[in-house]
Amino acid sequence: MAYGCPVIVHEANAKGIPELTHKQNCILYGENENVIEVAVRTARNKGLLSQLASGGLATFETFFKAEVSMERVIKSGVIDA
């Protein structure tokens, strides 16, 4: 996401990372899907690739950038600033 690359993730990961949104910032695939087939299908859709790249980068900037993550950790009281 940080590099603006499309991300393909097993749907189980979305349970622990609620920021993942299918076809907005990643492609989520399930147990009955072949990840290679999902990747090929995704790679052939240039519009979707563009959406995933921009959506993923925006998600990274909003939720996972070092400054944002550290601020959340400090606010949670896990560590002192």
**Residue 81 confidence class, pLDDT cut points 50, 70, 90:** low
Helices within 10-65 (DSSP H only): 11-16, 35-43, 46-59
- For the whole model, what pTM was predicted? 0.81
The string of pLDDT tens digits covering residues 33-66 is 999 999 999 999 999 999 999 999 999 999 989 8
